């Protein structure tokens, strides 16, 4: 699915964040940019801005992106950011439940299977400025909004300002924050989040082993395990919700059952545990020999781990894994978790009678799939 397009910019000297419309009357309202395939002269009156595939040879006196590749992916009231270089990025889709804020591309871990490899660049102010403008434009009935990275807490003070703004503007929206949780080993950081007083915050934090050396090796960061566990405990101290995420691969599988027991014994208060299939993107292709194990080979360990937690009353889910690779006894824990713009199926899956129940694949995972994909009939 296309999430960006590019054209040539006129009269744009800073990033513009706006909703888009194909309605000429709405286009003259504040916070709207007009989308049109063909430009008529009368339309160029009192517009805030314009995006069009047409070529424009004269200045129109307001921000314009012309000669764009396509507008087909944009829906009415989608929110876009428009750069001085003519890039038009879709940053909120009104018809999707899968909207995520990319807080920063920086990270203080360097996980072997990271799907979004960190970049050491100073992008916090730039990105925060975009989302500070976006959040007031998001529909008030937005069900859920994600915050990801990189590591969002590396935004520093802007991390708390972002959460405060979301709490003020979108008080009924569930906010799911993907973080390694290490910063919350310092209790004052967890306390500061608690002062925002938003019961809809959920922190998705990865724990890859009950043994500290294994976890630290996977995330390539010394003392990460101890910081993460203490961070989870500090967040929970203030009744902030925590979800533990476990990516399934060759390094995490050997102690998966022990990890499940560790979670129950030491963190029975967590709101959710998610066992997640490996993504074949980012660092994973470069570390595939260290990471790859066919999901068919660990299905017994996965079943035992899920049942240990579920039977103890901990809400437990399986993400990113085709249904035919999951033992039937834990089908009830399977979730269709892959964002709509990333989700695809193999050709042979089209005849499967349980396709509507299956989470399918990340589109990049079609390059590396199990040898045991078997459509139900």
Q: Tell me: the pLDDT tens digits for 140-172? A: 999 999 999 999 999 999 999 999 999 999 999
pLDDT tens-digit readout, 167-213: 999 999 999 999 999 999 999 999 999 999 999 999 999 999 999 99
Angle between helices 299-310 and 256-266 (to 10 degrees): 10
Q: Are 116 and 149 in contact (CB under 8 A)?
A: yes
- What is the model's pLDDT at position 225? 98
Query: In this predicted structure, what is the pLDDT of residue 19?
Result: 98
| Rounded mean pLDDT, 8-28 | 95
Query: DSSP per residue over 219-252, as a string?
Result: HT-TTHHHHHHHHHHHHHHTT-EEEEEEEESTTT
Three-class SS of residue 4? strand
Distance CA 16, CA 63 (A): 9
Q: What pLDDT does residue 42 have? A: 53
* pLDDT above 70 for 303: yes
pLDDT per residue over 263-294, tens digit each?
999 999 999 999 999 999 999 999 999 999 99
Backbone φ and ψ for 175, nearest 5 degrees, come out as -120, 115
Residue 41 pLDDT > 60 = no
pLDDT at 361: 78
What is d(CA 232, CA 359) in angstroms, rounded to the nearest whole number?
Answer: 28
- pLDDT exceeds 90 at position 342: no
Give the DSSP per-residue string, 164-224: HHHHHH-TTSEEEEE---GGGGSHHHHHHHHTT--TTEEEEEE---SSHHHHHHHHT-TTH
55 in Cβ contact with 66 (< 8 Å): yes
User: Can you read off the two tokens belonging to residue 328?
Assistant: 């039937």
Instruction: Read off the pLDDT of residues 51-94 as tens digits, 9 standing for 90 and up.
Output: 999 987 677 789 999 999 889 999 999 999 999 999 999 999 99
| Strand pairing class (79-82; 316-319) | unpaired
The length of the chain is: 377
* DSSP for 296-310, written as a single string: GGGHHHHHHHHHHHH
43 band by pLDDT with thresholds 50, 70 and 90: low
Q: Is the pLDDT of residue 301 over 60?
A: yes
Percentages of the chain per state (helix, strand, coil), in multiples of 5: 35, 20, 45
Q: Report strand pairing: 64-66 vs 79-82.
A: unpaired
How far are the Cα atoms of 5, 191, 260, 291, 316 from residue 253, in angstroms, in the given order? 40, 34, 11, 10, 17
How much of the chain, in percent, has pLDDT values that exceed 90? 81
Q: Which residues of 135-151 are buried (b: 16+ CB within 10 A; e: fewer)?
A: bebbeeebeebbbbbbb
Q: What is the pLDDT of residues 317-329, one digit of tens each?
A: 999 899 999 999 9
The larger pLDDT score, comparing residue 345 to residue 95, is at: 95
User: Is the separation of the CB atoms in 250 and 295 below 8 Å?
Assistant: no
| Measured CA distances, 125 to 129, 162, 184, 195, 363 (Å) | 6, 12, 22, 23, 32
The overall average pLDDT reported for the chain is: 94
The pairing of beta strand 144-148 with beta strand 272-277 = unpaired
User: Which of 241, 124, 239, 235 has its CA nearest to residue 188?
Assistant: 235
Three-state DSSP at 15 gives coil
């Amino acid at each position: 699915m296309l999430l960006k397009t590019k054209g040539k910019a006129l009269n744009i000297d800073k990033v513009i964040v706006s909703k888009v419309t194909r309605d000429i009357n709405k286009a003259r309202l504040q916070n709207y940019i007009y989308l049109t395939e063909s430009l008529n002269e009368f339309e160029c009156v009192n517009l805030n801005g314009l995006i069009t595939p047409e070529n424009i040879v004269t200045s129109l006196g307001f921000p314009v992106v012309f000669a764009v590749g396509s507008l087909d992916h944009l829906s009415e009231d989608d929110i876009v950011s428009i750069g001085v270089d003519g890039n038009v990025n879709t940053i909120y889709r009104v018809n999707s439940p899968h909207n995520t804020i990319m807080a920063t591309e920086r990270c203080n871990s360097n996980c072997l299977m990271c799907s979004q490899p960190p970049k050491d660049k100073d992008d916090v102010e730039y990105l925060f400025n975009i989302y500070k403008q976006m959040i007031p434009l998001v529909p008030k009935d937005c069900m859920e909004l994600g915050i990801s990275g990189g590591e969002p807490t590396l935004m520093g003070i802007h991390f708390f300002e972002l959460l405060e703004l979301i709490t003020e503007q979108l008080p009924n929206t569930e906010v799911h924050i993907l973080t390694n949780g290490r910063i919350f080993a310092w209790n004052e950081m967890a306390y500061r989040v608690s002062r925002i007083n938003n019961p809809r915050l959920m922190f998705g934090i990865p724990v890859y082993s009950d043994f500290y050396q294994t976890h630290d090796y996977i995330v390539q960061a010394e003392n990460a395990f101890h910081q993460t566990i203490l961070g989870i405990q500090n967040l929970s101290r203030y009744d902030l919700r925590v979800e533990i995420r476990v990516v399934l691969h060759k390094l995490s599988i050997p102690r998966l059952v022990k990890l499940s027991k560790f979670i129950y014994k030491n963190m029975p208060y967590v709101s959710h545990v998610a066992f997640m299939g490996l993504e074949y993107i980012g660092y994973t292709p470069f570390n595939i020999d260290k990471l790859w194990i066919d999901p068919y080979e660990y299905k017994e360990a996965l079943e035992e781990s899920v049942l240990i937690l579920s039977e103890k009353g901990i809400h437990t889910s399986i993400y990113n894994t085709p249904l035919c690779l999951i033992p039937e006894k834990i089908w009830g824990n399977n979730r269709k978790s892959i964002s709509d713009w990333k989700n695809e199926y193999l050709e042979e899956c089209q005849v499967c009678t349980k396709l509507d129940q299956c989470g399918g694949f990340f589109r990049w995972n079609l390059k590396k799939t199990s040898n045991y994909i078997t459509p139900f009939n």
